Amino acid sequence: MDAQVETADTQKSVGHDVPYATANGLEALSGAELRKQVEKLNQIGIALSSETNLERLLGLIVHEARTFTGADAGSLYILDRGMLYFHVTQNDTLRGRAHSLPGFKPYPLPLSEESIAGYVGCTAKILNIENVYNLPKTVPYHFNPDFDLRNDYVTRSMLVVPMKDQGEEILGVLQLINAMDKAGAVVPFQKSVEHLVMSLASQAAVAIRNAKLISDIKAVFESLIRYSISAIDARSPHTAGHSKRVANHCQAIARAINDETSGPFQDISFTTEQMEELIYAAWLHDIGKIGVPERILDKGHKLSDETMATIATRFELIKALSAVSIWKRKLVENKNEPWGDTIEEQVEIERKEIEKDFVFVKKVNRAQSLSREDVTTLRAIGSKTYKDLEGDVRPFLTDQEIESLSVRKGSLTKKEYMKVQTHVEHTYNIVKNVPFTKSLKNVPLFAGSHHEFLDGTGYPRGLKSDELPLQSRILAVADIFDALTALDRPYRSAMPVSKACKILKAHAKAGRLDQDVVNLFIDKELYK
Ligand SMILES: [Fe+2]
Ligand SMILES: [Fe+2]
């Protein structure tokens, strides 16, 4: 190891760095003590290597280093593009005063020799300082007393160690403050621990490098999910932003569950990984809509604008042909109409009737719900006929048009609705092929069951309550709420929150949605 040490003794001669192996006083440790320390170091190394959550890892490093050296406080800085970013601070004395570092606002330090941490980050040397208020005038760094002044704390001894990985790259700086003796008095850091803390810092650096790598990969994966799902949702203005909102609702519900100290959720607490698993499932739950044609997803009315334009042209033709037919009967075939009106009156009566029919068709096309009578009237109009220019008899509306217009609720035909429902199967098949890590293994299950109901009436598999974990129940509530309240939903217009809450409650009462989740969601207004 080429690390170098500046101790309280060597501060007087900065620049004359003493190689660690000869200056750290390691020889002062007995063989048994050394073995004990190395054994402890190994244990710490194992603990560090198994922690992949970066924030938890940083906290663990400071904690272990403090325990190892008997330090009252400790901080950790991570180096990023020439700046040292403060990440963790632990301070037993201040914690004992029942406040958590008030008045302390972490700020990034430039990587320069002017600050203690910056100096260590620049030079890769260890600093072992007996009293930070008594630094020799010859050293380039100085101690900033801001923290002490604001918190009524006195920093004295300090052991500051660079965190280098195997490639000797400095990833950060570990700063240990105020070594305590058994009586609780502040003492200088023992030289004997320097080597061991340096080893710990190296192990920590490798763990940080790995955790950062995992965190970077995760960030790329997450942004890929967010962008691709947002693009899929945006295929239709009716679903734009849906998955993001559902993920937000799920997160709000899960956090609220974690905060519950009484009631049905008092013993339930989602870990960070479980939270992550739920949020991934929420983001991905409708990815299968990629397999549903846009014309169905985006269907606002029963018939497309193009089809309605064709029908409008047809009705204009019918009106013209009707007038021609009346004139033909009167003039060419010389037949009197039984009711004895003038030709103009007869043409007008027919024209008005045809126009009335078309107005009804237009109304039906946009209606969110139809009565049985509406459907009967529609079929009667559709079955009327006219003779086209070739003399062929044709209906006012085709069978296909009647089928689409006869939908009594919403705008999708049964076939189209079934097509939309297939998105859940597609979601499951897509998501189950993503090589998720072990902690995310349930994402396909949660995402693929967001349309299941507790009473088995949901789809696609008709799962029942004992097969539906809490996460699937949360996702179902969040999904239905957003589907109801989203603006411009094609087969349902947006509804006020109060009405959506009533519907959720009705679903819960009927045993379809989880009552406790619905109550929590509504009572705590988590949709906000
Ligand atoms: Fe869905
Ligand atoms: Fe959805």
* DSSP result, 323-357: HHHHHIIIIIS-PPPTT---HHHHHHHHHHHHHHH
Cβ-count burial 409-444 (b if 16+ within 10 Å, e if not): ebbbbeebeebbeebbebbbebbeeeebeeebebbb
CA distance 486 to 20: 65
Nearest ligand to residue 478 Cα: 2
- Half-sphere exposure in the Cβ direction for 325 (13 Å, CA): 14
CA 247 to ligand 2 center in whole angstroms: 10
Higher per-residue pLDDT: 347 or 500? 500
What confidence score (pLDDT) does residue 92 get?
83
pLDDT tens digits along 30-44: 777 777 777 777 878
CA distance 95 to 75: 14
CA 282 to ligand 1 center in whole angstroms: 10
CA 301 to ligand 2 center in whole angstroms: 20
The type of residue at 105 is K
CA 460 to ligand 2 center in whole angstroms: 14
pLDDT tens digits along 497-512: 999 999 999 999 999 9
CA 243 to ligand 2 center in whole angstroms: 6
Q: What percent of the chain has pLDDT over 70?
A: 89
* pLDDT(338) > 90: no
Q: Which residues partner with 77 through β-bridges? A: 86, 173
Copy the structure tokens of residue 275: 């939270």
CA 222 to ligand 1 center in whole angstroms: 20
- Those residues whose beta carbon sits under 5 angstroms from the ion ligand 2 are 286, 479
Average pLDDT over residues 314-331: 87
CA 173 to ligand 1 center in whole angstroms: 48
CA distance 299 to 281: 26
* pLDDT(298) > 90: no
Kindly indicate the confidence band of residue 19, based on its pLDDT and cuts at 50, 70 and 90.
very low
pLDDT tens digits along 135-176: 999 999 999 998 899 888 999 999 999 998 877 889 999 999
Q: Is 484 left (phi over 0), alpha (psi -120 to 50) or beta?
A: alpha
CA 29 to ligand 1 center in whole angstroms: 65
* pLDDT(21) > 60: no
Nearest ligand to residue 249 Cα: 2
